[in-house]
Amino acid sequence: MTYMDLIHDERFNRLLEKYLNSESQGIDYKEYFNHFSENLNKKEIIVPVLGIQGAGKSSFLNSILMEDNILPTDVDETTCVPVEVRYGDNVNKATIYYLNGHKENVGIENLEKYVHNDYNRANNLQVSKIVLYNKSEVLKDNIVLVDLPGVGSLTPENQRTTLEYVNKLVAGIFMIRTNPPITRTEKNFINALWPKLSNTIFVQNKWNDESSEDAKEAKEHNEGVLSSISYAHNQDKEINVNVVNVYEAVKAKFTKDKDLYDRSGIVNVIEAIRNISKEYNKELIITLSQTVYEALKNINDKIETYKILALNESNENSSEKEEKIKEIKLILSENKKKIRSCRFYAEEELENIIENSSKIIKENIENLRLDLRRIVNKGIVDGNRLSLIYKDISDKAINNIMDDVLALISNLIKKLNTELGDITVKGFDGTYENISFFNKESSIKFEKSLPTALGLSTGIVGTIGAMGILGPAGILVGMGISLAFSLIGDHMRKKIVENRASYTLKDLEPMIEDFENYLKEEIIGDLRAKGQEVDESIKELKSNLEKTFKDDMEIIERQYETSYNEEHILEFEEDLRLLKEMISGIED
């Protein structure tokens, strides 16, 4: 018997319903298994391109498939309906499918009228999908690439379209950004889809104004967040984020510049897309098999627990129940204190950083002022030469300020992670430990079990996984916070430099005062925003933990409140026998 045979076996489904369904905490095993089995052996493999609005999804598809800029690629919200690109010869026509069942063919030059949000606002035309045909080699092996509205779309109807579309699929390409890297909104979206997707490609778009250092730092952050999500779903996938300069890929595609196309990074992604069709069924079966195995183990553990309860005397069970609940209540109480302490610490330290940052800005501006006065006193009072000197000196001031603020932030991250490390969570083996315990190298071997067996939200489990990957910054990354990156990356430096460069030298002192105020507004404003983000994330962690432990207590109450007799014991033994029979009958 194969795993596929097992998920259709009435005996297995009865045990699933009996022991896991009532306490699945959001996971519907039958729906999960059906989702994967229905996608096996499909003639076409539909691969949507997913991502936040403005991540470059349409440009990415243009760079792979099109000989011209067919899909709309404005900076603002564009795609409002799914656009499927299939292999075929009729490349000058598009088929428009409507929600009422009708369809029509239009010229490719009229596509924008149906797909662009400016012309078809919130899909007022009631288009179900649009199908284009393309002779790209990428599509030859039954691959269908799909452009979808972005996550975080300004139009709720467009976002709903994306979520409904991808709910039926098992493969996808996620477009993520270099700056900012994966945000909490994106993390939540990826986390929600993760169990459904067995084959995923991650593409990080690097625009021309983003440096290689930006891209490298963002790639490390993004891979850390994705690994934390993988851990949260009890998977040990090797995460690889492909960095692609989509602008250069599009330019090279349209100008037929092969060297530039290769350098853009797009070729590796094309190869990965082709591999989806080669490994499609294999990946599905592996994912399905792992989940079935984990479900079998969870059923076994649940039956064993009930059997022990049935064999114990009533007074033993009552005493044991009280001890377990007392332990959880104590952990919950201690966690509240620790989290309250973490919030207070983060708020206090950020205020100190803001105060120190103001001093750093003031000190560097004063040094800039003194340097300029010294230069003016030497006789350089106007013209291009003074302008160039001003730019050099102010560049130095900006870099000094940003480096000093980075040092303050890095210190906060290190200390805050230490504080968060004292919070107690439930590990993969069911034991309660401090988060920091899971960061000890080789100190624990995570058993294979579904997140539902943990009594933990995926966000918290993901936090544990991130620690081992990113070290000191791991907990914050697991919570979806990229505190340092968005504040002190080259993007912020460039923004300040560009703003600075727009000043004239008509009046030196007011110009310097304006520059100082601008620095304070940008840096202090970003610090306050990040402080709010950290506080909201810690509160969310507190809420998730409280729910987890309260759910644990309710489960314990239900387990112990039932009266068991000899018939129950026989029933549990029979179910165990049946389970072991099914496990022994599974082919390797």
Residue the block writes with tokens 């507190």: 542
* Range of weakest confidence among 19-23, 117-121, 325-329, 568-572: 19-23
The predicted model gives 433-438 an average pLDDT of 63
Range ranked top by mean pLDDT from 199-208, 414-423, 557-566 = 199-208
The predicted model gives 529-547 an average pLDDT of 82
Q: Higher-confidence residue: 176 or 541?
A: 176
116 three-state secondary structure: strand
Give the per-residue pLDDT at 474.
45
H/E segment holding residue 293:
helix 266-311
Residue the block writes with tokens 């006065």: 373
267 three-state secondary structure: helix
The C-alpha atoms of residue 87 and residue 143 are separated, in whole angstroms, by: 8
Give the per-residue pLDDT at 22.
55
CB burial of residue 321 (10 Å; 0-12, 13-18, 19+): middle
Report the b/e string of 72-82 with b at 16+ CB within 10 A. bbeeebbbbbb
The predicted model gives 252-277 an average pLDDT of 91
Range ranked top by mean pLDDT from 54-58, 71-75, 203-207, 435-439 = 203-207
Cβ–Cβ under 8 Å, residues 231 and 460: no
The answer to whether residue 450 scores a pLDDT higher than 60 is no
The answer to whether residue 219 scores a pLDDT higher than 80 is yes
Q: Higher-confidence residue: 247 or 495?
A: 247
Quote the mean pLDDT of the chain.
76
The C-alpha atoms of residue 386 and residue 143 are separated, in whole angstroms, by: 60
Distances (CA, A) of 185 to 55, 150, 202, 466: 13, 12, 16, 18
Q: Cα–Cα–Cα angle for 471, 475, 478, nearest 5°?
A: 110
Can you give the pTM of this predicted structure? Answer: 0.62
Beta-carbon contacts of 547 under 8 Å, excluding residues fewer than 6 positions away, are: 457
Beta-carbon contacts of 519 under 8 Å, excluding residues fewer than 6 positions away, are: 361, 365, 398, 401, 496
Give the per-residue pLDDT at 352.
92
**Token pair listed for 129:** 């999908």
Query: What's the alpha-carbon Rg for the chain, to the nearest Å?
Result: 28
The answer to whether residue 491 scores a pLDDT higher than 60 is no
Give the per-residue pLDDT at 240.
92
Give the per-residue pLDDT at 374.
80
Give the per-residue pLDDT at 257.
92
Cβ–Cβ under 8 Å, residues 468 and 438: yes
Give the per-residue pLDDT at 472.
36
- From the CB of residue 326, how many other CB atoms can be counted at a distance below 10 Å? 10
The predicted model gives 512-536 an average pLDDT of 83
Closest CA to 484 of 395, 416, 397: 416
Give the per-residue pLDDT at 259.
94
Q: Higher-confidence residue: 261 or 491?
A: 261
pLDDT category, 358, cuts 50, 70, 90? Answer: very high
204 three-state secondary structure: strand
The predicted model gives 197-222 an average pLDDT of 87
pLDDT digits (tens, 9 = 90+) for 149-176: 766 544 455 556 666 777 777 889 999 9
- Taken in order 573, 579, 585, 588, is the CA torsion positive or negative? negative
Give the per-residue pLDDT at 241.
95
Give the per-residue pLDDT at 532.
83
Domains and CATH numbers, the chain: 3-15+29-41+281-314+560-587 (no CATH), 44-264 (3.40.50.300)
Q: At what angle do helices 508-561 and 490-501 cross, to 10 degrees?
A: 150
The answer to whether residue 300 scores a pLDDT higher than 80 is yes
* Range of weakest confidence among 67-81, 179-193, 330-344, 500-514: 67-81
**Token pair listed for 570:** 């026989």
**Token pair listed for 165:** 């579309």
The answer to whether residue 114 scores a pLDDT higher than 80 is yes
Closest CA to 178 of 227, 247, 236, 120: 247
392 alpha-carbon distance from chain centroid = 39
- Strands 45-51, 171-177: pairing kind: parallel
DSSP string, 29-82: HHHHHHHHHHHTT-SSEEEEEEEBTTSSHHHHHHHHH-SS--S---SS--B-S-
DSSP string, 462-496: HHHHHHHHHGGGHHHHHTT--HHHHHHSHHHHHHH
Beta-carbon contacts of 65 under 8 Å, excluding residues fewer than 6 positions away, are: 85, 134, 136, 138, 139, 145
